[in-house]
């Protein structure tokens, strides 16, 4: 039945193309501190479902749902145990997902499978005996299931790591067929029994993109996005280099090697954009006149964002300039790619109404992942672009845009150092 494989791959590819051509808005529905919420985060978030649906959100990214050694969820252990999560129990999670589904919103699980924390020590005194969280032996693994080059935990019998190393916890051997089968079964359980629709793949560079392709084919998610976070190249001044082709090509290559249907967070666009808004807006035009991030070469597979629980929130590892946030959202909500809105900015920073106006403009004008950008200005203090010949956006400290905005366009929204014009007669 090998003839079915190419047919299946084509079906999966076409289904994703159809999905991503439709209006699409991802919302990260938690931050680094959400686990502390009294009464449980799942229950608290349920109160926001109607508002997120009204905003036009199509997909919500929820926290890692299983038992974890770390309260935030990123050191998982008993993967089938959803009752030990700091965010709430399995019943509350299923009720939340049902509420989102009833409002037309799909739910994306944070999938942390590169590494895993053990339940107990082996005879050597090493933490490498894993418990799946069920009464049977599913996901009950020993040191053989750890990459052999993870010498801190492995017994040397596993396969070599196919990706980047992760120091805080054992690196799981994803070349092992049992690992592949049992993790696929677990993800399908999350989809079929719990109700999740898609995946956010944490530390996806920790295993090869071919492994990601296998999990995509085995679980057929409605949507999936990988976190492939590497540093941009920088000059001696510490600033990002103008040309980031190598960085964005690495993201695009990962997508292609993972089968071409998964998406990736566009870290290239984030890195360039947060430097550009510091009166260096010339960075937003590459040498070919296109957007300089992943959205300039593979926009339909690029998820753009301003900050997340790592880069912003209380971790603040790589934050967007706090007084330029709306310039950032003006860019990603008017440009190609799949935009993602962060919980903090929407609910905690007092930016909700401004963001809502930008979302409405995007939706009203049918701006999507593959929309066309025509740049009208890319000066240090002014960036102006026309998108799909329907809207014109401006960011930057320069107020006067001269004659760059033609007749027939009216201001749709504006704020500190940003403005969006809409062609008259827009639906």
Task: Report, as residue numbers or ranges, the catalytic residues.
Answer: 202, 227
* DSSP string over 226-272: E----PPPB-TTSSBPS--HHHHHHHHHHHHHTTS-SEEE-HHHHHH
Sequence-ordered list of residues with C-beta below 8 angstroms from that of 397, at least 6 positions apart, any chain: 279, 381, 382, 417
Three-class secondary structure of residue 366 per DSSP? coil
Beta bridge partners of 373: 387
What residue spans of 22-164 are helical by DSSP H?
A: 41-45, 49-55, 90-102
β partners of residue 339: 304
Alpha carbons 338 and 92: distance in angstroms, whole number: 29
- Say if residues 295 and 336 touch (Cβ distance below 8 Å): yes
Tokens 């934050």 correspond to what residue?
319
d(CA 163, CA 16): 26
DSSP 77: -
Q: Is 123 exposed, middle or buried (0-12, 13-18, 19+ CB in 10 A)?
A: exposed
Write out the two tokens for 265.
């967070």
Is there a contact between 187 and 212 (Cβ–Cβ < 8 Å)?
no
Angstrom distance (rounded) from CA 349 to CA 339: 18
* Rounded Cα gap, residues 81 and 415, in angstroms: 46
């Amino acid at each position: 039945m090998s003839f079915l494989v190419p047919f299946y791959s084509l079906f999966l590819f076409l289904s994703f193309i159809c999905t991503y051509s439709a209006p699409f808005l991802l919302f990260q529905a938690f931050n680094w501190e959400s686990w502390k919420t009294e009464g449980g985060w799942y229950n608290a978030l349920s109160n926001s479902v109607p508002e997120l649906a009204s905003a036009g959100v199509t997909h919500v990214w929820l926290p890692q749902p299983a038992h974890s050694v770390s309260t935030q969820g990123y050191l998982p252990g008993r993967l089938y145990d959803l009752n030990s999560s700091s965010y709430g129990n399995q019943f509350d999670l299923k009720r939340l997902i049902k509420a989102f589904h009833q409002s037309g919103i799909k739910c994306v699980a944070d999938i942390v499978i590169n590494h895993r924390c053990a339940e107990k020590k082996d005879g050597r005194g090493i933490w490498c005996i894993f418990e799946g969280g069920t009464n049977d032996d599913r996901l009950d693994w020993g040191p053989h299931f750890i990459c052999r080059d993870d010498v801190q935990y492995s017994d040397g019998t596993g396969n070599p790591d196919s990706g980047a190393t992760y120091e805080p916890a054992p690196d799981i051997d994803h070349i092992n067929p049992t690992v592949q089968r049992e993790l696929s079964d677990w993800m399908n359980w999350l989809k079929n029994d719990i109700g999740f629709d898609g995946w956010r793949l944490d530390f996806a560079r920790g295993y090869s993109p071919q492994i990601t392709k296998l999990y995509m084919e085995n679980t057929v998610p409605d949507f999936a996005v990988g976190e492939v976070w590497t540093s941009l190249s920088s000059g001696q001044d510490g600033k990002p280099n103008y040309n980031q082709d190598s960085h964005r090509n690495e993201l695009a290559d990962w997508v292609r090697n993972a089968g071409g249907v998964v998406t990736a967070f566009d870290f290239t666009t984030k890195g360039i954009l947060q430097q550009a808004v510091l009166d260096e807006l010339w960075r937003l035009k590459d040498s070919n006149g296109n957007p300089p991030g992943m959205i300039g070469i593979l926009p339909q597979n690029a998820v753009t964002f301003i900050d997340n629980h790592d880069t912003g929130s209380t971790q603040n590892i790589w934050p967007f300039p706090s007084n330029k946030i709306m310039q950032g959202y003006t860019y990603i909500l008017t440009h190609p790619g799949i935009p993602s809105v962060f919980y903090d900015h929407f609910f905690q920073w007092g930016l909700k109404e401004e963001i809502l106006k930008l979302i409405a403009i995007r939706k009203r004008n049918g701006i999507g992942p593959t929309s066309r950008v025509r740049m009208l200005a890319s000066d240090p203090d002014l960036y102006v672009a026309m998108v799909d010949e329907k809207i014109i956006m401006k960011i930057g400290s320069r107020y006067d845009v001269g004659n760059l905005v033609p007749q027939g366009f009216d201001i749709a929204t504006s704020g500190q150092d940003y403005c969006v014009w809409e062609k008259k007669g827009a639906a």
